[in-house]
Chains A and B, each alone.
Chain A
Amino acid sequence: MLKCRTVWKKLAPLARASSTVCRQNVRRAGLTNGRIPIRVPTAHMSTGPAGGGGDNLKYALLVGLAGIGGLTYAVKTLRGDQKRYEERIAEIESRPHKATKGPVTDVQTAAPAAEASETDAVPEPELEAAPSPEEPSPPAENAAPDAEAVAHDAEAAPSSKTTEPPPADEPVVEASPEEAAAPAAVPVVEEVDSTPASAKVPSHAPYLLIGGGTASFAAARSIRARDPGAKVLIVTDEPDLPYMRPPLSKELWFSDDPSVTETLRFKQWNGKERSIYFQPPSFYIKPEDFDSAENGGVAVLTCRKVVHMDVRGNKVKLDDNIEISYDKCLVATGGIPRNLQVIERAGEEVKKRTTLFRKIEDFKSLEKVSRNINSITIIGGGFLGSELACALGRRSTESGLEVIQMFPEKGNMGKVLPEYLSNWTTEKVKREGVKVITESLVKSVTYKDDKLEIHLKDGRLVKTDHIVAAVGLEPNIDLAKSAGLEVDSDFGGYRVNAELQARSNIWVAGDAACFYDIRLGRRRVEHHDHAVVSGRLAGENMTGANKPYWHQSMFWSDLGPDVGYEAIGIVDSSLPTVGVFAKATAKDTPKAATEQSGTGIRSESETEDTATSPVASATPPPVVEHKDDYGKGVIFYLRDKVVVGIILWNVFNRMPIARKIIKDGEEHADLNEVAKLFNIHED
């Protein structure tokens, strides 16, 4: 049918073209013969016979040529379109299983329930398991969910029955009988394999937490505290129990213990050691004991990914096709590190020498790599990039490792700190042994002579052995489609309300949550303390609290032992800032702060030792020597004259005051007066 239309479309202009040409020929003939209407008796023409005739001739020729030109173009375009269309159809047809899926699923919806459960299971995983969203014929996509619903209604049997061939076996089958035969054979094998596995996995979890990171653990704890005997199931695609991320780019690198990559324990400044795992394995209950646990508990299913979420049916499906139903669900899927496009396109040799840093395994591999190479380059000037650069820079003094850091901004933390402070920080980072290349954009990366060559857009060339790309986080919203969850286009992540709820019975917390902050507006925050605060809040709301996000989370960063800061709220260098500084004494360093409080994680030190009332101390600090030495102080970030963010620069244990100021949301006429509340000259 479409072919006909195209043919007609092709023919029509040709027909028109030919007719116009005919007409034009007639006209020209008419011109020479003088029989065309233009050549009317001069009495009717406004212009003289000779001039009128000449102009008309030119006019006719112009129109004719334009007409021919236009028509030629039209024909060419249509031909090109025709060609492209045919190519597209050929491509689609070369994907036979998609084309046959339409009729297959239609047949299956009509088939008896028992059969339906087996055969329609095939299109199901194929649709979901297919990594790239190919263009399926619309009937296939619409039919599959219906078929699924039919299967689930009809079938009360345990989910292990619907196990299908894993994606690897995705049959590229043409004929439907073959397709029906394949699943019939394979599930038999699969069932044998999967039965022991499915016996371990609970089929129902009153509280299901997707993702095994900080937010998830905080929620688990909150739920267990508030709902006596609660049974909480955490499903994570990592092999590890929940752990905290900040030491992976800080404390673990400073450890003297050669087996640190195994133990993952770090010594805090005060000598107290702890593991990065929130709790040892004995804290959790085994998935096998989940159903029978009298007082409930938290169970963790590792190495399992939730690939599909059925919101109407209140259940999820794992990558091994096991289904788990839930009463309340938390989505805390975090994100995956972004990569540079130029590296993605650069080929295998470059990619295998590039680290995207986020998990324990990344820490382990980078730690190993850094021992065996001469030069490493970190691309990215934000928190992670700068912290890793400093950590590796420290090592460079012992091992002779060359550490380079490059980024497009003018200085480290250029998007967070005001320019003067960013510049100051960059100097400090350089003093940690890092070669900082500012204002650099990577044009391409090649592998040559056993070295990586990074070509910058301004022509500079950097040769290195390994690259760490720390260029941001892509929030993981894989479940948005199947669950029907809204995704935020400004900040990324799942869109949730002020109470972190996405839909009934579904909450989102942590890096993946784009939530409404009553004070500061809609935002998405990628910090450890926010994961804790939002995870706790989600857990509270999952147990009926109905509280909005109110307790503002904070974050911190240490760039070596001399530069550390804590921050809260919206800390964006594009906002106008007011910084109030004093001179730092030897007592004002991150090292000192944690030594005092006895903790390594800054958000914890808040509770240990909050500032005393602002009373002048007996011994005054040393006199200010260099005015431009930003030793310690407080920086206010303003939006419409209201403080929306505060950085405590080398000033510690004052976070409650900062939190209060942001919570108030007042316009303060003189921020120096507000700065007085922080007592920056004291310890």
Chain B
Amino acid sequence: MSSVREEGKDTIIFVTKEDHETPSSAELVDEDPNDPYEERGLILPSGEINWNCPCLGGMASGPCGTEFKDAFSCFHYSKEEVKGSDCLEQFRTMQECLQRYPELYPQEEETSSSQTSQDFASAEPSGLNSTAASEQDPDTTLPSTESSAES
């Protein structure tokens, strides 16, 4: 059973697991999916890409930012059956750029752009982490958004 103690203005409650088993009666305010103030995930309500999403790491802001944006935009709006297959040119340009900065973008063994586009495909639905895990490493530690976990 829970115990309650007062120490001046501070209340201290000890609870067992059983005490907290019943669902909470606390009410939370409904989330507005179109709240303009809220932090957004990778894809904005309008369907556009949120380049400022912390989940992208520094990809959109670094020296290869423009190439990355071109490639990812092309992929995002691609209507092909194999999504992104019409974007090989952009991916190749991006890859070339990434290779120029090995310190920033440590390369895996494979360098094929098709692999990279596959990574993009997996990134989009989850909307959480960006593609190659290596991108996380040299990156900053900006907090990601929680909207994908919340609501």
The CA of A280 and the CA of B14, in the complex, are separated in Å by 48
Confirm or deny: B84 has a beta carbon within 8 angstroms of a beta carbon on chain A.
no
Do the beta carbons of A606 and B104 come within 8 Å of each other? no
Residues of B within 8 A of A390 (CB): none
Confirm or deny: B25 has a beta carbon within 8 angstroms of a beta carbon on chain A.
yes
In A217-251, which residues have CB < 8 Å from any B CB? 217-218, 220-226, 228-229, 244
Confirm or deny: A274 has a beta carbon within 8 angstroms of a beta carbon on chain B.
yes
Chain B positions 21 through 46: 1 when the CB is less than 8 Å from some CB of chain A, otherwise 0: 11111111100000011110000000
Do the beta carbons of B14 and A616 come within 8 Å of each other? no
Residues of B within 8 A of A220 (CB): 61
Chain A positions 554 through 574: 1 when the CB is less than 8 Å from some CB of chain B, otherwise 0: 100000000000000000000
- Given contacts A550-B37, A607-B143, A610-B146, whether A677 and B26 have CB atoms under 8 Å apart is yes
Confirm or deny: A177 has a beta carbon within 8 angstroms of a beta carbon on chain B.
no
| B130: min CB distance to chain A, Å | 11
Residues of A within 8 A of B9 (CB): 575-577
Residues of A within 8 A of B54 (CB): 607
Do the beta carbons of A279 and B10 come within 8 Å of each other? no
Residues of B within 8 A of A536 (CB): 52, 142
The CA of A244 and the CA of B141, in the complex, are separated in Å by 9
Do the beta carbons of B61 and A681 come within 8 Å of each other? no
Do the beta carbons of B52 and A222 come within 8 Å of each other? yes
> How many A-B Cβ pairs are below 8 Å?
186
Flag the segment in A69-77, A312-320, A653-661 that touches B. Answer: A653-661
Q: How large is the interface on A (under 10, 10 to 19, 20 to 34, 35 or more residues)?
A: 35 or more
Residues of A within 8 A of B15 (CB): 580-582, 672, 675, 680
Closest-by-CB residue of A relative to B35 is: A550
Chain A positions 401 through 424: 1 when the CB is less than 8 Å from some CB of chain B, otherwise 0: 000000000000000001110000
Flag the segment in A332-340, A359-367, A619-627 that touches B. Answer: A619-627
Do the beta carbons of B144 and A606 come within 8 Å of each other? yes
Closest-by-CB residue of B relative to A660 is: B28
The CA of A580 and the CA of B2, in the complex, are separated in Å by 9
Q: How large is the interface on B (under 10, 10 to 19, 20 to 34, 35 or more residues)?
A: 35 or more
Confirm or deny: A458 has a beta carbon within 8 angstroms of a beta carbon on chain B.
no
Do the beta carbons of A579 and B13 come within 8 Å of each other? yes
Confirm or deny: A676 has a beta carbon within 8 angstroms of a beta carbon on chain B.
yes
Confirm or deny: B16 has a beta carbon within 8 angstroms of a beta carbon on chain A.
yes
Do the beta carbons of B13 and A578 come within 8 Å of each other? yes
Do the beta carbons of B39 and A551 come within 8 Å of each other? yes
Do the beta carbons of A620 and B17 come within 8 Å of each other? yes
| A295: min CB distance to chain B, Å | 4
Closest-by-CB residue of A relative to B150 is: A656
| A569: min CB distance to chain B, Å | 15
The CA of A456 and the CA of B55, in the complex, are separated in Å by 51
Closest-by-CB residue of B relative to A598 is: B136
| A525: min CB distance to chain B, Å | 14
Flag the segment in A191-199, A471-479, A662-670 that touches B. Answer: A662-670
In B113-145, which residues have CB < 8 Å from any A CB? 128-129, 137-145
26 A/B residue pairs, CB under 8 Å, sorted by A: A222-B61, A224-B60, A225-B61, A225-B65, A226-B52, A279-B104, A280-B138, A283-B104, A285-B63, A419-B8, A547-B36, A548-B37, A550-B38, A551-B38, A551-B145, A577-B10, A578-B11, A604-B142, A606-B143, A606-B144, A607-B128, A614-B23, A614-B24, A666-B28, A666-B29, A673-B24
Binding site for A on B (CB under 8 A): 2-3, 7-17, 19-29, 36-39, 51-52, 54-56, 58, 60-63, 65-66, 69, 101, 103-104, 128-129, 137-146, 149-150
Q: A221-B61, A614-B23 are in contact. List 17 more A-B contacts (CB 8 A).
A: A218-B142, A221-B52, A222-B61, A224-B60, A244-B140, A418-B7, A536-B142, A575-B9, A576-B10, A579-B13, A582-B20, A660-B28, A666-B27, A668-B26, A672-B2, A676-B20, A681-B17
Binding site for B on A (CB under 8 A): 217-218, 220-226, 228-229, 244, 272, 274-275, 278-280, 282-283, 285, 295, 297-298, 418-420, 529, 532-533, 536, 539-540, 547-548, 550-551, 554, 575-582, 599, 601, 603-604, 606-607, 610, 614, 616, 620-621, 624, 627, 655-656, 659-661, 663-664, 666, 668, 670, 672-677, 679-681
